[in-house]
Amino acid sequence: MEVRKVLLSEDEMPRQWYNILADIKMNPPLGPDGQPVKPEMLAPVFPMNLIEQEVSTERWIDIPEGILQILKIWRPSPLVRALFLEKALDTPARIYYKNEGVSPPGSHKPNTAVAQAYYNKEFGIKKITTETGAGQWGSALSFACCQFGIECKVFMVRVSFDQKPYRKSMMEAWGGHCVASPSTETEAGRQALAKDPETPGSLGIAISEAIEAAVSDKSGTTRYSLGSVLNHVLLHQTIIGLEAKKQLEKIGEYPDVVIGCAGGGSNFAGLAFPFVLDKINGRDLEIYPVEPAACPTMTRAPFVYDHGDTARYTPLLPMHSLGHAFVPPPFHAGGLRYHGMAPTVSQLVTEGIISPKAVRQLEAYKAGVQFARTEGVIPAPETTHALAYVAQEARKAKEEGREKVILVNFSGHGLLDFAGYDKYFSGKLDNYALSDEQLAEAESAFADFPKPQHLKSR
Amino acid sequence: MEVRKVLLSEDEMPRQWYNILADIKMNPPLGPDGQPVKPEMLAPVFPMNLIEQEVSTERWIDIPEGILQILKIWRPSPLVRALFLEKALDTPARIYYKNEGVSPPGSHKPNTAVAQAYYNKEFGIKKITTETGAGQWGSALSFACCQFGIECKVFMVRVSFDQKPYRKSMMEAWGGHCVASPSTETEAGRQALAKDPETPGSLGIAISEAIEAAVSDKSGTTRYSLGSVLNHVLLHQTIIGLEAKKQLEKIGEYPDVVIGCAGGGSNFAGLAFPFVLDKINGRDLEIYPVEPAACPTMTRAPFVYDHGDTARYTPLLPMHSLGHAFVPPPFHAGGLRYHGMAPTVSQLVTEGIISPKAVRQLEAYKAGVQFARTEGVIPAPETTHALAYVAQEARKAKEEGREKVILVNFSGHGLLDFAGYDKYFSGKLDNYALSDEQLAEAESAFADFPKPQHLKSR
């Protein structure tokens, strides 16, 4: 009988993260004066040890024992051969999914939440603020803060807060505090509400609120934490791809295609970056970040300098962006409702090293239901976007008659996301896509900003 | 660093189930005539291959390859050392939990759901009906039926149906159909509604509805499936304990104490029966099934002959019972709201081989929150009952200064059970316990039935 799952023992867990900054050239983040941001300027927002990690160009960074100890609650995560899905798709491709849904909060997010809580604790921080879209990140940070005895405050994008009431309960189970964003607790939130009291909210607004809540705490022991986009966040996620590589090696496989959904970029990068390194070193493979057609930063928006948040608290980051003021439609993959894209992922797109794809909501749910009914595991709405593209690649493999090896990041389960599935089954799900007019309007947000250079890493 | 998780490879999965009927004496089930039920009398309800398994006294029964293939989606499940919980309890005990929450439906239930769907498929059955309490069983059977292309119809106890709306969505994601019980679709349901239109429902009523729906289908290709209580159901669950034994052996451990929550008895038996075998063979250990104080079949109700369902469709089973008419209060551990107890588990109780304990809802939730905040995993309300007793045993170990090894079945996660947690956090949770008056009234249900013999297996 064929192997379903490839497991690693705790001893086989990677002891280092892979830092892609060692292998690509990046435009620097810019401050309000248009000059590169100095690390110390970020000190009110992040603890210094994480800022140092953010700017490090060391290729391999040791994972502290105190982090590994918590990760072992669920890591190494299984790599699973999707035999039943392959059969349903009638494809010669071999499909492997890295199941990040096995973590207590149900997604890949705790990989960095645990690391960030650890470093904040080391730095003497008592409270962390953050934003969350679908709730995966807020849950993960609540979980991680609980492990280290740190207070956790989460601003959750309103549309998801309303769609997924039990996400708040989950955060509370771990002792976290969650409010809907925009809230009346911050200046950024009050401004957003004044502009549109009915706003569904956005990650951009929620980030502004969380940063404001952190820097305005006069005790000096509160910091902000971001669940995606930044270099150190993506760094912590590379344990996914490093494990997957070991697991595939064990059974003599190497992927022809690597796929992950991408909102801010962290689950995609977590799986893909260790394979990007191979590609930079000459290996032949295709790497696809998959985004929603309703928020198509990589496939339709330009590579520009833009703020990471709506209230423009963050430095200007070099990234694919729909504009910091963009509020995506209320589709269900809340984790993909972000106006920008991680600078490192954006840089790889501009260089053609990775090839972004966009998928619409109905196609994504269709693939999600097929996955649930074959492989048994119910995917998060974000994850269904990656699965939709897996199905496309599997069909292509069939047309080409190729025994392709497809590796996909199963970023999380959908057990707290049934509102979207209910709508899908009742035929009431919208099939949003960005219009040209929306795109043109969105671009006005960064029209006056400096432009990043077109760098070539290889 | 100490080991957190003990894993088995797919090759190390048990290839046989342990059948406790080889090692204990049982009173036979009785038909309406007061005579032992003949296997063929059950043929309208169950497929013949499962009926044969129900009455088999072979000690070891092979697990068919077609079942193993599906179980491998998530099995073998991890055995985890609860290091952080031990620390919080400040106990010298070593606590290990067998994590059955890693299955796609989130509990131990698919262990038998997959087996039952397989045998029904083998027998040519096209549709399976069942009941569900908390929704764990209905989800598991929907998942399993989906894997084998069988239609699945679930009658869900109304109080849980209302408390946990997303359980229905989950069943639908796997193509199952779920209605609240009592429903108007069956005679048993209509009678229950006539008696009390506001009834919270009970497993007893839901079982009656599901049996009626199965036997009244004239096509002859519909059968009923039960998620607990019966011998073959508990048999399929023994893979849990057999795996746990192998995992403990790997690290040179053997439990002094084995603990599982018990509603119908299946998750308790799944973990415990392979250790009961050792105890019968002379090994010294304590084995505790833990039940809710609001539905205390083993700790307070007598060992009698009673029906497994409210409408008295089932044979008379020799078991601890609160009476087939008993409707437990609407506490949140829906899977423990059953008036009876598996005959095999009941028999072990009467012989003193296992020692039942009862826990109240508030103590259970307290232990559940402590577990979530230390070990990170959020337990199902049923599971919290076992964890509450783990905490009692750990405290006892501390008082005695003993390095006890405690093994507990983590029967499922609570990610679809946040309504109960919300109530707990807001201080609105009831702390039900059965009154003497309720007990006396309940006992009238079986006053006229034959009495089982007091057998001694050893």
Per-residue pLDDT tens digits for B354-378: 999 999 999 999 999 999 999 999 9
The pLDDT of B397-408, averaged and rounded, is 96
**Residues of chain B contacting residue A106, judged by C-beta atoms under 8 Å apart:** 415
Compute how many other C-beta atoms are within 10 angstroms of the C-beta atom of residue B286. Answer: 16
Residue predicted with more confidence, A419 or A254: A254
Contacts with B421 from chain A: Cβ below 8 Å: 169, 172-173
Q: In this structure, is residue B361 part of a structural domain?
A: yes
Q: Is residue A398 situated within a structural domain?
A: yes
The stretch A98-115 carries a mean pLDDT of 97
Which of A198, A231, A264 is the last residue before a domain boundary? A231
Nearest CA among B77, B96, B114, B409 for reference residue B243 = B77
User: Residue A331: pLDDT band by 50, 70, 90 thresholds?
Assistant: confident
CB contact under 8 A, A172 and B425: yes
- B211 and B315 housed in the same domain: no
**B37 and B89 inside one domain:** no
CB contact under 8 A, A147 and B1: no
pLDDT for the residue B269: 98
- Measured CA to CA, the distance from residue A205 to residue A178 in angstroms comes to 15
Domain-located, residue A9 = no
**B346 and B359, same domain (yes or no):** yes
Are both A179 and A286 inside the same structural domain? Answer: no
| Domain carrying residue B186 | 14-63+109-231
Q: What integer pLDDT is reported at residue A457 of this predicted model?
A: 82
pLDDT category, A160, cuts 50, 70, 90?
confident
Domain assignment present for residue A98? The answer is yes
Of A455, A229, A204, the residue nearest A311 (C-alpha): A204
- Give the pLDDT mean for A230-252: 98
Q: Chain B interface, mutation test: which of A74, A96, A177, A429, most B Cβ atoms within 10 Å?
A: A74
- For chain A, counts of helices (H) and of strands (E): 18, 15
Q: Which of B7, B10, B421 is facing A9, going by the closest CB pair? A: B7
Order of strands, edge to edge, in the sheet holding A5-6? A5-6, A79-81, A94-99, A405-410, A257-261, A286-292, A357-359
Secondary structure, 3-state, A373-431: HHCCCCECHHHHHHHHHHHHHHHHHHHHCCCCEEEEEECEECCCCHHHHHHHHCCCCCC
Q: What average pLDDT does the segment A326-349 reach? A: 91
A187 & A274 share domain: no
The band of A133, judged by pLDDT with boundaries at 50, 70 and 90, is confident
**Same domain membership, residue B298 and residue B171:** no
What is the H or E stretch that residue A303 is in? Answer: strand A303-307
Residues of chain B neighbouring A376 (CB-CB closer than 8 A): 70, 73-74, 104, 143, 146-147, 174
Same structural domain, A82 and A180: no
Average pLDDT over residues A69-93: 97
* Mean pLDDT, range B157-175, rounded to an integer: 91
Beta-carbon count within 10 A of A302 CB: 17
Mean model confidence pLDDT for chain B: 95
CATH of the domain at A344: 3.40.50.1100
* Count of the separate structural domains present in chain B: 2
CA distance B171 to chain A (A): 11
Inter-chain contacts counted by CB atoms under 8 A, chains A and B: 108
CA distance B153 to chain A (A): 16
- Smallest CA–CA separation between B82 and chain A, in Å? 9
Q: Is the pLDDT of residue A329 over 90?
A: no
Asked if residue B319 lies in contact with residue B303, where contact means CB atoms within 8 angstroms, the answer is: yes
B288 lies in the same domain as B315: yes
Cross-chain residue pair A104–B170, CB shorter than 8 Å: no
Which ranges constitute the DSSP H helices of B251-286?
266-280
CB contact under 8 A, B4 and A375: no
Say how far apart CA B56 and CA A444 lie, in whole Å: 75
Residue of A nearest to B149 (CA): A373
- What does the alpha-carbon distance between residue A127 and residue A136 come to, in Å, rounded to a whole number? 19
What are the structure tokens assigned to A336, written together?
């993909």
Radius of gyration of chain A (CA): 20
Using 50, 70 and 90 to split pLDDT, how confident is the model at A163? confident
**Same domain flag for B116 and B243:** no
pLDDT at residue B1, rounded to an integer: 52
pLDDT band for A165, please (50, 70, 90 cuts).
confident
Say if the Cβ atoms of B4 and A170 lie within 8 Å: no
CB contact under 8 A, A378 and B104: yes
Query: Nearest C-alpha of chain B: how many angstroms from A250?
Result: 13
Residue B203 lies in a domain: yes
How do residues B41-60 score in pLDDT, each as one tens digit?
999 999 999 999 999 999 99
Are B93 and B158 in the same domain? Answer: no
**Identity of the residue in B5, B74, B170 whose CB atom sits nearest the CB atom of A10:** B5
Q: What is the pLDDT of residues A267-282, one digit of tens each?
A: 999 999 999 999 999 9
Q: How far is CA B26 from the centre of its chain?
A: 20
Task: Judge: A415–B418 Cβ closer than 8 Å, yes or no.
Answer: no
ipTM, 2 dp: 0.94
SS3 label, residue A288: strand
Residue B95 maps to a domain: yes
Is the pLDDT at A1 greater than 70, yes or no?
Answer: no
B416–A421 CB contact, under 8 Å: no
**Mutant choice from A5, A11, A247, A428 vs B, greatest count of B C-beta within 10 A:** A5
Q: Nearest chain B Cα to A85, which residue?
A: B147
Question: Are residues B255 and B401 part of one domain?
Answer: yes
Region B231-256 average pLDDT: 98
Residue B455 lies in a domain: no
Q: Which residues of B touch A377 (CB under 8 A)?
A: 73, 104
Nearest CA in chain A to B375: A73
Q: Residue A65 and residue B174: Cβ atoms within 8 Å? A: no
Which residues in chain A are contacts of B375 at CB distance < 8 A? Answer: 73
Q: B119-143, pLDDT tens digit by residue?
A: 999 999 999 999 998 899 999 999 9
Q: Domain boundary at B201, B231, B261, which?
A: B231
Q: Which residue has the higher pLDDT, A335 or B178?
A: B178
Q: Would you say residue A186 has pLDDT above 90?
A: yes
Mean pLDDT of chain A: 95
> What pLDDT is stored for residue A447 in this prediction?
92
Asked if the model's pLDDT at residue A203 lies above 90, the reply is: no
Q: In whole angstroms, give the CA distance from residue B91 to residue B415.
A: 28
Contacts of A369 in chain B (CB under 8 A): 173
How far CA A4 is from CA of A7, A79, A254, in Å, comes to: 10, 8, 16
Strand partners, A412: A107
Mutation target vs A (from B73, B99, B366; most A CBs, 10 A cutoff): B73
B84: closest CA of chain A, how far (Å): 9
Shortest CB distance from B174 goes to which of A147, A174, A373? A373
What pLDDT is attached to residue A335?
Answer: 85
pLDDT at B241 over 80: yes
CB contact under 8 A, B104 and A376: yes
In chain B, % of residues over pLDDT 90: 91
A interface mutation test: which of B415, B417, B424 has the most A CBs within 10 A? Answer: B415
Contacts of A241 (CB under 8 A, 6+ apart): A18, A270, A271, A272, A273, A274, A275
CA distance A264 to chain B (A): 25
Query: Residues of A with CB below 8 A from B71's CB?
Result: none
B178 shares a domain with B225: yes
Within-domain flag for A268: yes
Q: With contacts defined as CB-CB under 8 Å, which chain A residues touch B378?
A: 104, 170, 173
Q: How far is A9 from chain B (nearest CA, A)?
A: 7
Minimum-distance CB partner of A375 among B7, B73, B80 = B73
Q: Report how far apart the first and last C-alpha atoms of chain A are (Å, whole number).
A: 44
* pLDDT tens track for B282-297: 999 999 999 999 999 9
CA B298 to chain A, closest CA, distance in angstroms equals 31
Interface touch A372/B5, C-beta < 8 Å:
no
Asked if A143's CB is within 8 angstroms of B425's CB, the reply is no
Indicate the residue among A182, A210, A231 that finishes a domain. A231
